[in-house]
Chains A and B, each alone.
Chain A
Amino acid sequence: DAKTTQPTSMDCAEGRAANLPCNHSTISGNEYVYWYRQIHSQGPQYIIHGLKNNETNEMASLIITEDRKSSTLILPHATLRDTAVYYCIVEVSGTYKYIFGTGTRLKVLA
Chain B
Amino acid sequence: EVQLLESGGGLVQPGGSLRLSCAASGFTFSNYVMNWVRQAPGKGLAWDSAISPGGANTYYADSVKGRFTISRDNSKNTLYLQMNSLRFEDTAVYYCAKDRSGRGAFDIWGQGTMVTVSS
Question: Are A and B bound to each other?
Answer: no
Interface residues of B (CB under 8 A from A): none
Interface residues of A (CB under 8 A from B): none
